[in-house]
Structure formats: C-alpha cells, structure tokens
A = this chain, B = another copy of it.
Amino acid sequence: MLVVQKFGGSSVADTDRVQAVADRIARAKRDGDDVVVVVSAMGKTTDQLIRQAHEISEIPPGREFDMLLTAGERISMALLAMAISERGLTARSFTGSQAGIITDASHGKARIIDITPGRITDAIHEGHVVIVAGFQGVSRDSKDVTTLGRGGSDTTAVALAAALEADLCEIYTDVDGVYTADPRIAPRAHKLDRVTHEEMLELAASGAKVLQVRSVEYARNHGVRIHVRSSFTFHEGTWVERDGTMEQAIISGVAHDTSEGKLVVRRVPDKPGVAAKIFSALADESINIDMIVQNVSDDGTTDISFTLPIADGPKAVQRLEELRADVGMEEVVLDEAVGKVSLVGAGMKTHPGVAAAMFQALSDADVNIEAISTSTIRVSVVVRQQDVETAVRAVHERFGLGDEVEAAFGEGEVHV
C-alpha cells in the first residue's frame, strides 16, 4: 500500500517530536507500506522567520519572503530524514521544487497547477522513505520558489496523494479526528468516524480548523481518501471519503468561525451591474468574500452585506470608498464583532425542516440571527460574536449530536 502521511508543525515541534514521528513512519514502512511523508516547518520556525523579515521590511517582496519561509520545511525534512536513517531505513528529502510541485506565480498563496513527481516515484521504487517539504512549490514560468499559503501542507499532501495514486492520505494533527463541534464549546461533542468530502468541505469552510479548505476541495476533486488522526496516539481518527453507499447521517456537525467580519454596503442603487462592480473590485484586491446577502428595499436601493476575513476589512472598506462616486452607495460599515455558526450534513438535502429547526433552537437560546446563507448540505447564520458559543451549544443539542463519551483531545489543541 502507498500511503502519504502529513505531519504539521506541532508534530515536529522539536527534535524529540521529530524522533517520535520517525518511529511512526518507520513502523508503517516496516509493516510493508511505501511511505511518502509531507512535513511542515518545526513549531515556531515560520513565526521566527516572519519576525526577522519584519525587522528588515514591513512589506517584504513576495518572492524573497517565500524564499525565506521555505527554509523552515528544509530544516524539518532534513532532520526527519536523519531520524529515519537512524532507524535503519533510508530516507530522501525533497523540496517542493524537487518534488515537482508546479504552481502559479502568486507568491504567498500559490496554487498547484501540476505535479511532476518523477523523482518521488524513483525514490519510492528504490525503497526509500520519501519526505517532501509541505507548503512549497516552484512557479512554472519563472522557476521561482513559491508558498501555498496558510495550511498549505495539507494541500501538498493531498495533491501528492492524488498524483501518486496513493491508497490513502493520512493527516496527522494534534486532535484525534473531526468532531461534531468544538469540544471546548460543546463538551458532549464526539468524534465522527467518517464524513463525506462534501461535508468536510463545508465544515472546513465554516471554521472547522482540522483540515484546510483547499486540501479538502482537492481531495474531493481527485477522490483522495483522507484519514485525519492524532500524531500522539494510534487510535482511529476520522475518515473523509467519497459519498459512496454508506448510510447518510442527516447532520454531521456544527462548525463556527469568529475570524470574519461583516461588511455592509448601504443603499446601493438596485440596478444591474452594481454587484458585479463591487465584487470585481474586491476580487482585484484578492479579498476572499464568504457569505453574501442582499436585501432589496422599496425605494430603488438595496443593502449588500458580506463576510470576509477581519484582516482584509480595512482594505475592503478603502476599495469600496473609491467606488462610491461611481456606484452611488450611501455608506460602508464594517462590523468585526460577528461570528458564523454552520450546521453541516449530507443528509439534510433530503430532510426538510433542518433550517427551521436550527433557527428555532437559536431563538430558544435567545440568539439573534443577522444573516443566513445555505447550501444543499449546510445552513450558516451570522450572529453577534458573544453569542457564538451559546449558538453552537444550542444547535449541537437540538440535533442530538451529543455523545456519552466526552471528547478526547490531544494536548496541543486543548491548551491553545
């Protein structure tokens, strides 16, 4: 069996942790699997490098910033290769470029456009444990080193698993799987044994931090089976797989996200082309818009609201103010004190009344809903930030997601 194993920064935080990870890899290899490991930078390395860069430059050039940051995985992967060699196996580490992770040229948030894993497959056939630097690639045209952005190592792992036609992609993390809700908020939350790619995608997009959205998207598109599990135990984690013959639970979990703000553009003329102008301008700034809600009023104007990462708020406001003369809005209001609570479940599309039951649960808990957005397998609401925990608990209980077993979390996450 060919397995891709991904270890994040907390799993290789120091040389002791590197040794423990090497033990686990060696065990898989000795059990007869071919193993390709994707590794992040050690613990705080990336933060240290960012701090050094900012001692020199407020806004460092993207190309050089990527060159700097990629030193992090270089260190962790070489140390991990050494630790594996100490266990009587041979290991070969490869940078993103050497591994054939070809990306576009968007430094800091490059997208993978191709994988040419010739050196990886050669190394596998020679019997080596292969270690690949997560988070990094090389741009197709300029041949410059690029990084994939936050959480990019998950995407590296899934993309490699797809390109190598691996049987399985194991994502090792500091929690033991995907939960029905954040156990710090809903203590009766329980671990899910399996979710579909679609559910995981909605959960990740709605704030569940265990997997990065892009990696799940990639896994869905390429049919990659993911096993999310703890690097501290050998327990089964959560399987993320195709929506096959398995019985659908109506609801799989409740996710929440307090990293976004809400921006309201008031009294925009209600005519064609206005929304296009607004969202094109924001796209030009590479601002990721999430929920969009438009309410038409009866005086020929409309309010357009949307959520976006808090960090992008000021830039969005500035860009929209520049459009004011052209578009004719009345005011732009940024509200950072909001939160999003989402209910996700592949079964909900065939079970009417899920949204209504969710809204009733929130009402019973005295939580006001400021905006609503739905997909076929998700209902999200925007609420006041201070109401988020209450809302998560209320929805979690309403749908009977509580379990007898209290959630068991790895030490890393609990103390964060």
User: Footprint of B on A, CB under 8 Å?
Assistant: 15, 18-19, 49, 52-53, 55-57, 60-61, 63-65, 67-68, 70-72, 74-75, 77-79, 81-83, 85-86, 90-93, 98, 119, 143
| Given known A-B contacts A71-B74, A74-B70, A85-B61, A56 and B15 have beta carbons under 8 A apart | yes
* CB proximity of A110 to chain B, nearest CB, Å: 16
Q: Which residues of B contact A67 (CB under 8 A)?
A: 74, 77-78, 81, 93
The closest CB in chain B to the CB of A18 belongs to B56
- A306 CA to B57 CA, complexed, in Å: 53
Determine which of B98, B119, B143 lies in contact with A119 in the assembled complex, contact meaning CB atoms within 8 Å: B143
Q: Which residues of B contact A78 (CB under 8 A)?
A: 53, 64-65, 67-68, 71
The 5 A-B residue pairs with the shortest CB-CB distance in the complex, in nearest-first order: A68-B78, A67-B78, A64-B81, A71-B71, A15-B55
Copies of this chain held together in the complex: 2
Q: Could you list 21 A-B pairs, sorted by A, with CB under 8 Å? A: A15-B52, A19-B56, A49-B75, A52-B75, A52-B79, A53-B78, A57-B83, A57-B85, A60-B82, A61-B85, A63-B81, A64-B78, A64-B93, A65-B78, A67-B77, A68-B74, A68-B78, A70-B74, A71-B74, A71-B75, A71-B78
- A19 CA to B63 CA, complexed, in Å: 19
Q: Which residues of B contact A143 (CB under 8 A)?
A: 98, 119
**Interface residues of A, dominant DSSP:** helix
* CB proximity of A344 to chain B, nearest CB, Å: 40
* CB proximity of A389 to chain B, nearest CB, Å: 41
Extra contacts, 6 of them, besides A60-B82, A64-B91, A71-B75 (Cβ < 8 A), are: A15-B55, A52-B79, A61-B90, A64-B82, A64-B93, A98-B143
- A93 CA to B144 CA, complexed, in Å: 10
Q: Which residues of B contact A65 (CB under 8 A)?
A: 78, 82
- A217 CA to B412 CA, complexed, in Å: 54
Q: Are B57 and A82 in contact (CB under 8 A)?
A: yes
| Given known A-B contacts A74-B68, A74-B70, A79 and B63 have beta carbons under 8 A apart | no
Q: Are B61 and A81 in contact (CB under 8 A)?
A: yes
Q: Which residues of B contact A91 (CB under 8 A)?
A: 61, 64
* CB proximity of A220 to chain B, nearest CB, Å: 33
- A57 CA to B64 CA, complexed, in Å: 31
- A399 CA to B49 CA, complexed, in Å: 52
Q: Which residues of B contact A82 (CB under 8 A)?
A: 53, 56-57, 60-61, 64-65, 68
Q: Which residues of B contact A60 (CB under 8 A)?
A: 82, 85
* CB proximity of A61 to chain B, nearest CB, Å: 5
- A81 CA to B52 CA, complexed, in Å: 13
| Given known A-B contacts A68-B78, A74-B68, A143-B119, A86 and B15 have beta carbons under 8 A apart | no
- A77 CA to B77 CA, complexed, in Å: 20
The closest CB in chain B to the CB of A69 belongs to B78
Q: Are A53 and B79 in contact (CB under 8 A)?
A: yes
Q: Which residues of B contact A72 (CB under 8 A)?
A: 71
Q: Which residues of B contact A55 (CB under 8 A)?
A: 15
- A83 CA to B61 CA, complexed, in Å: 10
Q: Which residues of B contact A92 (CB under 8 A)?
A: 63
- A352 CA to B273 CA, complexed, in Å: 94
Q: Which residues of B contact A81 (CB under 8 A)?
A: 61, 63-64, 67
Q: Which residues of B contact A52 (CB under 8 A)?
A: 15, 75, 79
- A78 CA to B56 CA, complexed, in Å: 11
Q: Which residues of B contact A15 (CB under 8 A)?
A: 52, 55-56
